Amino acid sequence: MEPLLDDDHFHDECGVFGVYNHSEAANLVYLGLYALQHRGQEAAGIVSVDDRIFHVSRGSGLVADIFKAREMERLKGRQSIGHVRYSTAGGSINVRNRQPLVVDSADGGLAFAHNGNLVNGVEMRRMLERRGSIFQSTMDTEVIVHLTALSRKQTFPERLVEALKQVRGAYALTAMDENLIIGVRDPSGFRPLCLGKIGDDCWILSSETCALDLIEAEFVRDVEPGEMVVIGPNGLESYFPFEKKARSLCVFEFIYFARPDSTIDGISVYEARKRIGAALARENPVEADVVVPVPDSGVAAAMGYAQESGIPFELGIIRNHYVGRTFIEPEQKIRHFGVKIKLNANPMALKGKRVILVDDSVVRGTTSRKIVKMVRAAGAKEVHMRISSPPTAYPCYYGIDTPTRAELLASSHSVEEMCQHITADSLQFITLPGLYQAVNGGPPESFCDACFSGDYPIPFSAHDEGGQLTLLQEA
């Protein structure tokens, strides 16, 4: 049975959320995770602390299915952190890989939730195992936990800093002891993290601003790359304990990962996607009758393309928003069943038309091929694919679930060959300069684009026999 949801897209592997000093801290974390559900749909967890006791609830599936009223009643306390995860291995997630991780240390309980991936995670894990550490999961978050526990520094923030100075890679991290909540963003700023506030003394940490909107929290600012914010009885304290590095925010946040109603590092995701679509129209015009998005990821870019080109925007493909991750497939095979249960062509908008299909990426090409054929079957006269990212020819090792390079269509095929593979009349991608001009109006120095360029900001430390990086993929 083929994967059902977004099987031909990159997946961001998780989201984090934290609340300090609120009588309904865990309930707010629940709502925050609900708003961040797009960042991970396979597992979720919430940890709260009350009178030095850590209360934990974790499960597989969607946030609303895991945390029922009785479960939430157990999560007492005025501070709480949570996590949503996308599993990288496919199928059901290992129960030991659910976050947040909670451990007992000599100084009390600690909890950790991590978005990202450590490129020296394997190396550090082996070193720790040789020193006697016993791991309970395959997550490199646990590497950070063990390094923190081994530190002889006096305070939890100091021990966490010492641990993080020994790892390399991407992390937006929330951590908690019985008195403090800490938010840390890696020195390159690969993954987003922001600060919010309710009233005068309730602080929020979130992967995206859209989650602040749901709980009616005020957006304060983004956590800066290399910054640690410590939130406790003294309010918010900010530190920059790490060596400064060039910014490398994942540009795919603006193409696909983040929700369009979020703002990241001062840039509106929605407006950026519309500008990307407009740039795509300027770079790759074609005579056509309608511009049709591949929902939902192509909608904003298609709007920008339509506005720039003057070609009407139509909902030529309708998405079923009530599809779960599992389904019963009929015994009699239905062609392209996995795509058609999620997306259906709208013949009234397509029949006899020259159609421009706008999508965010072509990864393996399998879904794009099926969508093109579905649109043709609905009566489209021509189908032209326009992609709001450059060709994705390289895998990501900084916290995004991607296929191996051999599975990426652009790694071994020219654009013309890719066009033939997906059976479109034409296929064009936005250029890297066009992408950056659209996202931030200029140079690319603030972003990581390794999946397009192969230019990895942080070097690797472990490779397997096939030349591919061997990592414990972390959410």
What integer best gives the mean pLDDT of the chain? 89
- Predicted pLDDT at 304: 98
Query: Is 14 marked active-site?
Result: yes
pLDDT in tens, 220-239: 999 999 999 999 999 999 99
My answer on whether 232 and 267 are in the same domain is no
Q: If you count them, how many residues does the chain have?
A: 475
Same domain for 237 and 272, yes or no, is: no
Q: Which one-letter DSSP state was computed for residue 344?
A: E
pLDDT, residue 407, reads: 87
Residue 474 has pLDDT above 60, yes or no: no
239 and 277 housed in the same domain: no
Residue 404: which pLDDT band, with cuts at 50, 70 and 90?
Answer: confident
**Residue from 331, 333, 302 nearest 315 by CA:** 302
pLDDT at 93: 58
Q: Does 242 map to a domain? A: yes
Residue 284 and residue 412 share a domain? yes
For residues 322 and 235, state if they share a domain.
no
Residue 17's pLDDT band (cuts 50, 70, 90): very high
- What is the predicted pLDDT for the residue at 106? 81
* Confidence band of 464 (pLDDT split at 50, 70, 90): very low
Give yes or no: residues 222 and 319 share one domain: no
Distance CA 443, CA 263 (A): 19
- Rounded to an integer, what distance in angstroms lies between the CA atom of residue 286 and that of residue 363? 23
Task: Report the percentage of the chain scoring pLDDT > 70.
Answer: 88
249 pLDDT more than 70: yes
User: Is 222 inside a domain boundary?
Assistant: yes
pLDDT tens for 133-171 read 989 888 889 999 999 999 999 999 999 999 999 999 999
pLDDT at 107: 83
Residue 388: closest CA among 357, 419, 345: 357
Q: Is residue 272 part of a domain?
A: yes
Judge if 82 and 107 occupy the same domain: yes
Could you tell me if residue 448 is inside a domain? yes
Query: Of the residues 14, 194, 202, 419, which is catalytic?
Result: 14
Within a domain: 51:
yes
Token readout for 406 is: 């051999």
| pLDDT 10s digits, 205-216 | 999 999 999 999
Q: How many domains are contained in the chain?
A: 2
The strand pair at 354-359 and 382-387 is best described as parallel
The CATH number of the domain where 137 resides is what?
Answer: 3.60.20.10
- What sign results for the dihedral spanned by CA atoms 422, 428, 429, 432? positive
User: At 96, is the pLDDT very low, low, confident or very high (cuts 50, 70, 90)?
Assistant: confident
Is the confidence at residue 443, as pLDDT, over 60? yes
What are the pLDDT digits (tens) for 189-210?
Answer: 999 999 999 999 999 999 999 9
Q: What is the CATH number of the domain that holds 440?
A: 3.40.50.2020
202 is in an annotated binding site: no
pLDDT confidence bin for 469, thresholds 50/70/90? very low
Task: Give a yes or no: residue 468 inside a domain.
Answer: no
Pick 90 or 93 by higher pLDDT. Answer: 93
Do the annotations mark residue 396 as ligand-binding?
yes
Res 92 pLDDT > 60: no
What average pLDDT does this structure show over 373-383?
A: 97
**Confidence band of 114 (pLDDT split at 50, 70, 90):** very high
pLDDT of residue 399: 77
Report, as an integer, the average pLDDT of 368-376: 96
Assigned domain for 463 exists: no
210 among annotated binding-site residues: no
What range does the domain containing 95 cover?
A: 11-248
Per-residue pLDDT band for 48 (boundaries 50, 70, 90) equals very high
Q: Is 414 annotated as a binding residue?
A: no
User: Which pairs count as long-range contacts for 231-236, CB under 8 Å and 24+ apart, including other chains?
Assistant: 231/20, 231/21, 231/180, 231/181, 231/182, 231/183, 231/203, 231/205, 232/20, 232/179, 232/180, 232/181, 233/179, 235/201, 236/195, 236/203
* 257-307 pLDDT tens trace: 999 999 999 999 999 999 999 999 999 999 999 999 999 889 999 999 999
Q: Does residue 242 sit in the same domain as residue 324? A: no
Are 279 and 304 in the same domain?
A: yes
Q: Are residues 211 and 279 in the same domain?
A: no
Question: pLDDT-based confidence at 58, cuts 50/70/90?
Answer: very high
So what's the pLDDT on residue 340?
73
Read off the pLDDT band of 334 (50, 70, 90): low
pLDDT at 414 exceeding the cut of 50: yes
Q: Classify residue 394 by its DSSP letter.
A: S
Query: For 116-142, what is the mean pLDDT?
Result: 91
Looking at the fold, whether 148 and 232 belong to one and the same domain comes out as yes
Region 169-194 average pLDDT: 97
The per-residue pLDDT for 7 is 53
Q: Is 194 annotated as a binding residue?
A: no
pLDDT for position 461: 54
Examine residue 466 and state whether it is found in any structural domain, yes or no. Answer: no
pLDDT above 70 for 47: yes
The predicted pLDDT at position 20 comes to 98
pLDDT band for position 40 (50/70/90)?
A: very high
Q: Are residues 46 and 83 in the same domain?
A: yes
Q: Tell me how far the alpha carbon of residue 460 is from its chain's centroid.
A: 21
